[in-house]
Structures are given as C-alpha cells and as structure tokens.
Amino acid sequence: MSPALAIPRKRALPGDPGPDFPHFGLGRRVLYIRRDLAARATAIFTALAQLNRASGTGNRGSGFPFKLDGGPDLFARRAMRGGFIRFLNTDVYFGAGARPLRELAIANEARLRGVPIAEPLGVLIETVASGFYRSAFITLALNGMTLWEFLRADDDAVVRAHVIELARRAIDTMHDAGVLHADLNLHNLFVSNAGERITAVILDLDKAQLYRGAVPSSRRVANFARLKRSAHKLDPERRYLDAKLLAILTAS
C-alpha cells in the first residue's frame, strides 16, 4: 500500500503554498496568486469584492466566473457550508486558512502529475474575526457543464456513452497519479468543450489526499462506491444514468 503523502493541514498566515504562488495583503484579505498573474493582484482583489455581491452559479450557488481586462477568463469558487450547518452559517470557517491553502497545494501537485483538473490559480482568504475566515478558490474558467447537468441535457446515447467513458478515464488517471478525491460525485465531474473537442475534468480537491504512488485499490473501491451512492441519490429511477453507463463510471 502506498503511504499517504502528508500535506500540512495547519499553516499560520501568511502561509506559502509554494514559490509559484506569492501572496498579497489588502486589509483583512490575503490573495495567493500564481506568479504569472501577480501583476494583476489588485484587479483580482477588486473583481472578487464585486462578485461577493452577486448571485453564484452551480452547486450551492458558489461559482463566480469573471474576466480581467486583457487577461484570461477566471472562475472563483467560494467555500460554502453544506449539511444542516448551512442554515446557520453559509460561508464562515474556523482556522487560519489552512484548508484552502492545502487545497491549492494539492491541486497544483495534481496538475503537475497530469490529472485533468481545472487549472488552479490561487486562493483568497478573508479574515472575518480572530480565528474565522471566508475563502474563494480561483481557477482558469472552463467552458461546459457538470456531468450531472450534461446527462440531463443531452439525450444522444452515443455521446452520453463517450462522455461517461471520458469521465471514467479521468478518474482512473487521478487514481493512478496518486490523488484520492474525498467527495467524488456527479457535480464535481465536469464536461468541458473547447471547439469540437470534449474532455472530462475533475473539480474541487478540497479534502483530497495525495499518495506517493498510485491510490491503493481498497481506497479506489471506496471512492467508486461513494460516486455510485451519489448517482443513485441524484437519479434514483436511473432516468439519466442507466445501469450500463453507471457500471462504466463506477465499476471497481
């Protein structure tokens, strides 16, 4: 069994997810941004402040596409609470920002290992009070939709089967590269289209785990079981994901 590669869970601000992500402070906010975008830090601060007043998209309304003048299309995903606690607290977390910094470090390492993910560009951490913060994860924007959205939108059997195979290939690539996703579901598998080329991309590596070698088979089985439960919960009547396609996607 490959030993888990430890990524520090506790990191006091200002932290440092690596030399490629310098950080900049503005009031209670700290931005960690990839070095090639560092000159645009002020513009990113401004854009994210404006997005906080907008309605988000996607699962939990946490996604915010935005564009810098003369720059690439970007996407910010605000960290949002799930479960019952979301009714009391939508987006405030306890700690010094270790969790989003850890995700940035893992996502960047996953990209370097060849895992098909949304390209990580940075993290914004805003101190709310002593020990409490909000955060947003910044990636390069992708054209497309989640796998769950795609399955409900496209009824071409051949295309659906092809996309499911692409999604399975992306998961296998992730596991072979030593990355274990902690919350694999149909919302964080993304169908991206650039021109006429379709690719499958994996989103949201929050709480993911890195291994020095490939992910152990027992952990893969558990990952696929979780994905299968998620699919059954979203589509209990198998209206969009029949037994054959579900087997392609989740068989371990």
> What's the confidence (pLDDT) of residue 61?
64
> What's the confidence (pLDDT) of residue 6?
46
pTM: 0.86
| Residue 62 structure tokens | 């946490």
Q: Do residues 227 and 180 touch, judged by C-beta distance below 8 A?
A: no
> How is residue 27 annotated by DSSP?
T
| Residue 88 structure tokens | 């009391």
> What's the confidence (pLDDT) of residue 99?
86
> What's the confidence (pLDDT) of residue 80?
75
> What's the confidence (pLDDT) of residue 83?
56
> What's the confidence (pLDDT) of residue 15?
43
At a CB cut-off of 8 Å and minimum separation 6, what does 117 contact? 107, 110, 111, 201, 202, 203, 205
> Which residue is associated with the tokens 């949002």?
80
Multiple choice CATH, 144-250, 1.25.40.20, 1.10.10.60, 1.10.510.10, 3.40.50.920: 1.10.510.10
> What's the confidence (pLDDT) of residue 126?
92
Helix (H, G, I), strand (E, B) or coil at 221: helix
Q: Do residues 207 and 161 touch, judged by C-beta distance below 8 A?
A: no
C-alpha span between 155 and 165 (Å, rounded): 16
Distances in Å between the Cα of 162 and the Cα atoms of 98, 148, 191 are: 38, 15, 11
Q: Count CB atoms within 10 A of the CB of residue 55.
A: 7
Strand partners, 63: 57, 77
DSSP 100-163: HHHHHHHHHHHHHTT--BPPEEEEEEEEEETTEEEEEEEEE--SEEEHHHHHHH---HHHHHHH
Beta-sheet strands, E only, within the chain: 4-5, 23-26, 29-33, 63-67, 73-78, 93-94, 120-129, 132-140, 144-146, 179-180, 189-194, 197-202, 209-211
Task: Kindly report, residue by residue over 99-116, the tens digit of the pLDDT.
Answer: 899 999 999 999 999 999
C-alpha span between 9 and 109 (Å, rounded): 15
Strands 132-140 and 144-146, sheet pairing: unpaired
Q: Where in the chain is the domain with CATH 1.10.510.10?
A: 144-250
Q: Do residues 26 and 114 touch, judged by C-beta distance below 8 A?
A: no
> What's the confidence (pLDDT) of residue 9?
36
C-alpha span between 215 and 175 (Å, rounded): 5
Give average pLDDT by consecutive 10-residue segment, the chain, 252 residues.
Answer: 45 58 93 95 91 60 83 88 58 82 93 96 92 92 94 92 97 98 94 87 93 96 95 94 95 88
Q: Do residues 68 and 74 touch, judged by C-beta distance below 8 A?
A: yes
Q: What angle do CA 113, 126, 143 make, to 5 degrees?
A: 45
